[in-house]
Amino acid sequence: MPIHTKKREEYTRMIEAIKNRERNFKINKKHMLASALNRRRSRINTSTIIYEDKFIDDPTQVKKVIQDSAKKWTRKRHLDLSIPG
């Protein structure tokens, strides 16, 4: 393959990559930035957990404990909005 053909193909691939990134930026900025920064979504392994010093490996119990903990974290707050004085 002649050198100029190889360079042209490389140039074409670069242009396509730029156009693709530009298209992604218009459609989904978050995805484009994550891709550009090589960020990958990390996953949390919940097959086993330790909760209140107990090792839990039963999937049904794990799910229940996680749901119960989330409910405690996100419970409704009762605020006194009256301003004294």
Whether 40 has a pLDDT exceeding 80, the answer reads no
Spatial separation of the C-alpha atoms in residues 69 and 8, rounded to whole Å: 58
Whether 2 has a pLDDT exceeding 70, the answer reads no
Instruction: Provide the residue range defining the domain that includes 52.
Output: 43-75
Task: Give me 11's structure tokens.
Answer: 């140039």
Whether 66 has a pLDDT exceeding 80, the answer reads yes
**Residue 49 shares a structural domain with residue 32:** no
Residue 84 belongs to a domain: no
Using CB atoms within 10 Å of the CB of residue 34, give its burial: 0 to 12 exposed, 13 to 18 middle, 19+ buried: middle
What integer is the mean pLDDT of 53-75?
88
The pLDDT score that the predictor gives to residue 1 is 55
What is the residue whose two structure tokens read 């193909």?
A: 9
**Residue 10 shares a structural domain with residue 32:** yes
Whether 60 has a pLDDT exceeding 90, the answer reads yes
Q: What is the pTM of this model?
A: 0.42
- What tens digit of pLDDT does each residue of 70-85 get? 888 877 777 777 777 5
What is the residue whose two structure tokens read 């693709």?
A: 20
Residue 71 belongs to a domain: yes
How many folded domains does the chain comprise? 2
